[in-house]
A and B are shown apart, each in its own frame.
Chain A
Amino acid sequence: MPAPAEMRIVLKNIDKPGYTRDIDCYLKHGGYEELKKAIAMAPADIIAEVKASGLRGRGGAGFPCGVKWGFIDPKKNTKPVYLICNADESEPGTFKDRQIIHKEPHQLIEGMIISCFANNVKLAYIYIRGEFPYGAKILEEAIEEARAHNFIGTNILGTGYDLEIYVHRGAGAYICGEETGLIESLEGKRAYPRIKPPYFPAVLGLYMCPTIVNNVETLCDVKHIIKMGGAEYGKLGRPNNTGTRVICVSGDVEKPGYYEFETGKITMGELIYEVCGGIKGGKKLKAIIPGGSSAKIIRAGEVFKVKEKQADGSMADKEIKLEDVILDFDSLAAIGTMAGSGGVMVMDETRDITRCLANLSEFYAHESCGQCTPCREGAQWMKKITRRIATGEGRAADVPLLKSVADNIAGKTICAFGEACSWPVQSFLAKFKDEFDAKAAAGTGPVVRPVEPTMSAPKGSAAYKAAKEPVIAG
C-alpha cells in the first residue's frame, strides 16, 4: 500500500514557488480572513471550537489546547491574562518552527491574535530561541506590518479590542522550552523551572498572572480550526489524535526534511521507506528516536505487544512490528516511547550506538539548568560514563553504574528535564545492552586526566595535549 499523500495545512504555503513572507502575499492568499471571522465571534465560542477540535499541543507533551485555555475562568479571574508563544524550538531533531517563522510569519501571528482575543489577552510575547536572529527580525517586521493593517495595536478592526505582541529572544538555553523556565527567563531571571504545583501557568504564570503558553504549530492550528470549524477539524486524524502533524526527519535517510500528515494516517515504515526514500546508501535500519531526542529509542526489528480495543469493547493483545506503528501520540505511547515534538531521528546499521548515546548525554549535561542536584550531577556523570564507554575507556561495571545513575534522576527533579535526560540512557541500555556490555568490557578502564586541563597544564605542552579529552564523532 503506498504511503498516504502529505496533507499540508500548516505548511501549505511553505516552499510554494513565488510565495513570500510579507503581508501582501499573505493577504492575497486569504490571510487574516480567519481573524476577521474570529473577532466577530464571542471569545467563549472560539474556546468551544478549539475544545471541539480536540487539538493537542504540538510542543511535546500533547496536552489538549482547549483544556489548557479553559483553566482560566473569565468570571472569577481579576488579573490580566498573558499569552506566550513558545518558539524556543530546541528539542534536537525538531526543525518545524523555523520553517513557519521564516517563511510564513503571519500565519503564526494571525493564530496568536485569535488565541489572544479568545482569552482576553492584551499583552503577548513570542519567546524565540536566540539562535534564530533572523527569525526574530522577521517576526518584528511582520508585527509592524500587521500593526499597519490594524490587526495589532489599539481598537483592532474597530472592535475596541487592544493587543500588543512583542518578540523576546532567548540566548541558547534548552531549558527555556520548559514553560515555567521560559516564564522565569522572560521575567529577566535564570530559566529555572518553577516548583509544581501549580501545574499550569494558566493558574500562576508570567508576573504571577494567568498565562497561556502554546507552541508555534499549535497557534497556527488555531487559525485553521476557525477556518474549518472545530468539529470539522476534529474529523481529521484519529479520535484523540486529531488534525495534522508536522513530522521532521533527520539522520540516515535519503530524503530528510519536514512533512505534514493527517495525524495517525502514516506508519513508521511508510515514513522511512516511502516518504523519506529509505535508509541512506541502501544500508539497513538500526534504530529510530521517534519524537525528539528525549523520546525513548526503538530498535529495528522490534515487535511490540499492545492492547487493542475490539469491536465488542473488550481489549485483546496484539503484536505489532516497528514498521507498522502508527505515528500519533497514543500509538507511540502504547509501545513505550512518545510522539513528543515530532522529530524523528534515524540511525543506520553502521552507527556505533554507544557514541550516539554519548552525543545525547553531552547535550543534556550541557543543558541541565543546575537547579536540582540529581539532574545537575547525574547528567554530568552520564556524560562522563557514556563518553568513556564510547571511546574505549570503559569497564564492564560502567553499564550497571550508568543505569543506576539514570534510574535515580527521573521523578526526583522539579521539571521534566530529569526524565528527558534519563530516558535516552535507560532506553539505549535496554534496547542495545549487548553492544554497551561488549564495548564497556573491552575498554581500558578510566584514564586519569588532570582536572581542568586548560588551567593545570601550560598551553601547547605535552601534558596539555594529553589532557585534552578524546574526540567523539557520531
Chain B
Amino acid sequence: MSSVTDTSETTHSASHDVHDPHLHDEVKVELSPDFLAQADKIVSKYPVSKRSAVMPLIYLWQDNFGYVSQQGVRWIAQRIEIQPINVMEVLTFYPMFRQHPVGKIQFKVCRTLSCALAGSYETCEFLRKKCGITEIDEHGLGVSDDGKFSVEFVECLASCGTGPVVMINDDLYEKVDTSKAQELLNKVS
C-alpha cells in the first residue's frame, strides 16, 4: 500500500462533485516507488497517446486504494497531461470503476438472462441477506455496515453455460445456487 498524505482529501472525499475547487491543485501525494514504476510501465504501452493510459491508471489507483478519490483523479490527470474532467468522464462512464469505497469482499452476481434462468436472483437476494445488506444505491450496489462485504448485480459475465455465476473479487465461481453461495461465504469470511 502506498501512503497518501493529501489533507484536502478528508474535506472532499465525500464529494463526487466534478466542480471540486481543488481539482487543479498540485497533487501532494507520496506514492511508493513500486506504484510509480507500475504507472510508468502502463504509460509506456501507449507510445502514440498517453491519454490511452487513463483506464489502466484508474485501475492501478483503484487496486491500491479501493476506489478513485478526487486526489486520484488529479494525480492521473497530471501524470498523462490531460484535464481532470477528462479523467472524470471516463471514471463515471465505466461500471467497474469506483468513486466510493466498496466492501473488502466484493460479490458480483450475474443478472442477465441465462444466469437469471438458472436462479441468479435467488443467489443475489441470499447473498444480500447473509451479508446484512439493507440498502442498495441507484446502481444496485449494497455495502454491509462494517464495510466487509459488498454485493451487486452486474450484467453478463460471459459464462452463460454455467449459471448462475458469481465473481468474488477477481475469482469466478460457477453454478452458484444458494447452498454453494453459503459454502463460498463460509470460505471467504
Contacts and interface: CB of A to CB of B under 8 A. Distances in A.
Interface string B149-164: 0000011111111110
B155 A98 contact: no
B84 to A, nearest CB: 13
Interface residues of A, number: 62
Contact of B134 (A170, A185, A351, A459): A459
A172 interface: yes
Given A131-B167, A257-B161, A173 B53 contact: no
Interface in A172-220: 172-174, 185-191, 207
Given A172-B96, A186-B52, A459-B134, A363 B155 contact: yes
Interface in A332-378: 343, 345, 347, 351, 356, 359-360, 362-363, 366-367, 369
Given A171-B55, A188-B52, A363-B112, A90 B119 contact: no
Interface residues on B, range: 35 or more
B14 interface: no
Given A171-B97, A172-B94, A185-B55, A454 B161 contact: no
B113 A95 contact: no
A400 interface: no
A162 interface: no
A104 interface: no
B54 A359 contact: no
A207 B113 contact: no
B144 to A, nearest CB: 14
A24 to B, nearest CB: 26
B160 A474 contact: no
A99 to B, nearest CB: 10
Interface in A286-303: 289, 293
Contacts of B159: 95, 98
In the A-B complex, list the 10 residue pairs whose CB atoms are closest, starting with the nearest.
Answer: A474-B116, A171-B94, A250-B160, A172-B95, A188-B51, A250-B114, A172-B96, A256-B161, A171-B96, A188-B54
Given A123-B47, A168-B52, A250-B161, 6 more contacts: A93-B113, A131-B158, A171-B96, A172-B95, A250-B160, A474-B116
Interface of A: 89-95, 97-98, 123, 129-134, 166, 168-174, 185-191, 207, 248-252, 256-258, 289, 293, 343, 345, 347, 351, 356, 359-360, 362-363, 366-367, 369, 452, 454, 459-460, 471-474
